[in-house]
Amino acid sequence: MLSLNKKDFGLLLVVAILTLAAPIILNPFPANSGMAQFNAGYPDLMQRFVIFGIFAIGFNILFGLTGYLSFGHAAFLGVGSYSAVWMMKLLSMNVIPAILLSVIVAGLFSVVIGYVSLRRSGIYFSILTLAFAQMSFNLAYSVLTPITNGETGLQISLSDPRILDGANAPSYPNLFGAQMNSAATVELGNWIFTFSVGYYLCAVIMLAAFYISIRVFRSPFGMMLRAVKSNQQRMNYTGLNTKPYTLAAFVISGMYAGLAGGLLASMDPLAGAERMQWTASGEVVLMTILGGAGTLLGPVLGAGFIKYFENIFSKINDNVLHGWFSFMPDGFEDFLVTVIHPFVGKGWNLTLGLLFMLVVIFLPGGLVEGGQRFGRVFRRKDRNAGSVEADAAKQRNQTAAE
Amino acid sequence: MAILEVKNVGKRFGGLQALSDVNLSVAENSVHAIIGPNGAGKSTLLNCLVGKLIPDTGSVMFDGQSVLGRKPYEINQMGISRVFQTPEIFGDLSVQENMLIPCFAKRDGSFQMNALTSVTSQRDILDKAEEMLVEMKLADKRHMHAASMSRGDKRRLEIAMCLSQNPRLLLLDEPTAGMARADTNNTIDLLKQIKEERDITIAIIEHDMHVVFSLAERITVLAQGTPLVEDTPDKIKGHPKVREAYLGESQDAA
Nearest CA in chain B to A217: B115
Check if B121 contacts A (Cβ < 8 Å).
Answer: yes
What's the Rg (C-alpha) of chain A? 24
Confidence of residue A383 (pLDDT cuts 50, 70, 90): low
Q: Are A219 and B114 in contact (CB under 8 A)?
A: yes
Pairing of strands B218-223, B226-231: antiparallel
Report d(CA B81, CA A69) in Å as an integer.
31
Judging contacts by C-beta atoms under 8 Å, the chain A residues touching residue B91 are: 230-231
d(Cα B220, Cα B227) in Å, to the nearest integer? 7
Instruction: Give the pLDDT of residue B56.
Output: 92
CA end-to-end distance (rounded Å), chain A:
39
The DSSP line for A14-52 is: HHHHHHHTHHHHT--S-TTSGGGGG---SHHHHHHHHHH
Residue B19 has pLDDT above 70, yes or no: yes
What integer pLDDT is reported at residue A78 of this predicted model?
96
Question: Is residue A395 very low, low, confident or very high in pLDDT (cuts 50, 70, 90)?
Answer: low
B16 inside 8 A of chain A by CB: no
| B101/A223 CB distance under 8 A | yes
pLDDT-derived band at B246 (thresholds 50, 70, 90) equals: low
CB A8 within 8 A of CB A159: no
Contact of A85 with chain B, judged by CB distance below 8 Å, is answered with: no
Q: What's this model's pTM, rounded to 2 decimal places?
A: 0.90
Q: Judging by DSSP bridges, how do beta strands B80-83 and B169-173 pair with one another?
A: parallel
Question: Which site among B67, B82, B98, B101 would you substitute to test the A interface, given the most A Cβ atoms closer than 10 Å to its Cβ?
Answer: B101
What is the pLDDT, as a whole number, of residue B249? 54
Are the Cβ atoms of B120 and A239 closer than 8 angstroms? Answer: no
**Are A240 and B71 an interchain contact pair (Cβ–Cβ within 8 Å)?**
no
Condensed to tens digits (0 to 9), the pLDDT of residues A72-127 reads 999 999 999 999 999 999 999 999 999 999 999 999 999 999 999 999 999 999 99
Q: Does B251 touch chain A (CB under 8 A)?
A: no
What ipTM score was computed for the predicted complex, to two decimals?
Answer: 0.89
Minimal Cα distance from A248: which residue of B? B113
Which chain B residues contact residue A12 at CB under 8 A? none
Calpha distance A98→A104 (Å, rounded): 10
Kindly state the average pLDDT of the residues A351-361: 91
All residues of chain B having their beta carbon less than 8 Å from the beta carbon of residue A62 are none
The per-residue pLDDT for A382 is: 59
Name which of A215, A224, A231 is nearest B89 (Cβ-Cβ). A231
Interatomic CA distance for residues B231 and B120, integer angstroms: 50
Torsion angle of alpha carbons A29, A35, A37, A38, nearest 10°?
Answer: -70
Distance between CA atoms of A51 and A56, rounded to whole angstroms?
9
Secondary structure letter of residue A66 according to DSSP: I
Q: How confident is the model at residue A400 (pLDDT cuts 50, 70, 90)?
A: very low
* pLDDT higher than threshold 90 for residue A68: yes
User: A127 in helix, strand or coil?
Assistant: helix
pLDDT tens for each residue of A269-309: 989 999 999 999 999 999 999 999 999 999 999 999 999 98
In this predicted structure, the answer to whether residue A352 has a pLDDT above a threshold of 70 is yes
For residue A44, the distance in angstroms to the closest alpha carbon of chain B comes to 33
Count, residues in chain A: 402
Using CB atoms within 10 Å of the CB of residue B39, give its burial: 0 to 12 exposed, 13 to 18 middle, 19+ buried.
middle
Is there a contact between A241 and B105 if contact means CB atoms under 8 Å apart?
no
The residue among A6, A216, A240, A253 with the most chain B CBs within 10 A of its CB, best to mutate, is: A240
What single letter denotes the amino acid at residue B244? E
Q: Which residues 68-87 of B are in CB contact (within 8 Å) with A? A: 71-74, 76-77, 81-82, 84
The pLDDT mean for chain B works out to 89
- How far is residue A202's CA from residue B185's CA, in Å, rounded to a whole number? 61
- Rama region for B94: left / alpha / beta (φ>0; ψ in -120 to 50; rest): beta
Chain B interface includes A230 (CB < 8 A): yes
- Tell me the chain A residues in contact with residue B74 when contact means C-beta distances shorter than 8 Å: 239
Confidence at residue A292, expressed as pLDDT on a 0 to 100 scale: 94
Q: How much is the pLDDT for B93?
A: 95
**Residues of chain B neighbouring A402 (CB-CB closer than 8 A):** 150, 153
